[in-house]
């Protein structure tokens, strides 16, 4: 079991993913999908699916962190604050714009990830 032998691996993976995702969300030039085969509507839904799946993955990764049960809710709260906070900070990063819809999608992703790994929580 990874928690007993190398607990720092979970923390390193979790922090690396969270840092990379935060950087992607706050970068002035978001990733553009310039594929002619994908319609603008398809690009929109693909971007929103990325929001949901990234936060679901982060919540699932959080379930593996070697912490006491009482700290697990604090980790989920931290993820929820991150989900809302990055959208708020995006309003300060031109040409990005924050969105309550994206914040809600982020929170939905956290809920999905937590539900998929509920035995660990």
55 CB neighbour count, 10 Å cutoff: 25
Task: Flag whether 17 is in a domain.
Answer: no
Give the containing element (helix H, strand E) for 20.
helix 7-26
Task: Flag whether 113 is in a domain.
Answer: yes
Task: Flag whether 11 is in a domain.
Answer: no
> CA 54 to CA 49: how far, in whole Å?
8
**In terms of residue numbers, what domain contains 76?**
40-121
Task: Flag whether 102 is in a domain.
Answer: yes
106 CB neighbour count, 10 Å cutoff: 27
Q: What would the pLDDT profile of 6-50 be if each residue is shown by its tens digit?
A: 888 989 999 999 999 999 999 998 776 666 678 888 888 998 999
Crossing angle of the two packed helices 40-63 and 7-26, in degrees rounded to 10? 150
Residue 108's pLDDT is 98
Domain count, the chain: 1
pTM of the model: 0.88
């Amino acid at each position: 079991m990874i928690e007993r032998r190398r607990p720092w691996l979970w923390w390193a993976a979790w922090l690396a993913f969270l840092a990379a995702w935060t950087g992607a969300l706050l970068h002035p030039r978001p990733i553009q999908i310039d594929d002619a085969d994908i319609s603008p509507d398809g690009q929109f839904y693909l971007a929103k699916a990325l929001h949901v799946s990234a936060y679901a993955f982060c919540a699932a990764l959080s379930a593996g962190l070697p912490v006491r049960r009482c700290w697990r809710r604090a980790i989920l709260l931290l993820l929820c604050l991150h989900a809302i906070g990055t959208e708020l900070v995006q309003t300060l990063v031109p040409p990005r714009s924050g969105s309550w819809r994206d914040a809600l999608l982020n929170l939905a992703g956290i809920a999905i990830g937590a539900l998929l790994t509920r035995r660990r929580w």
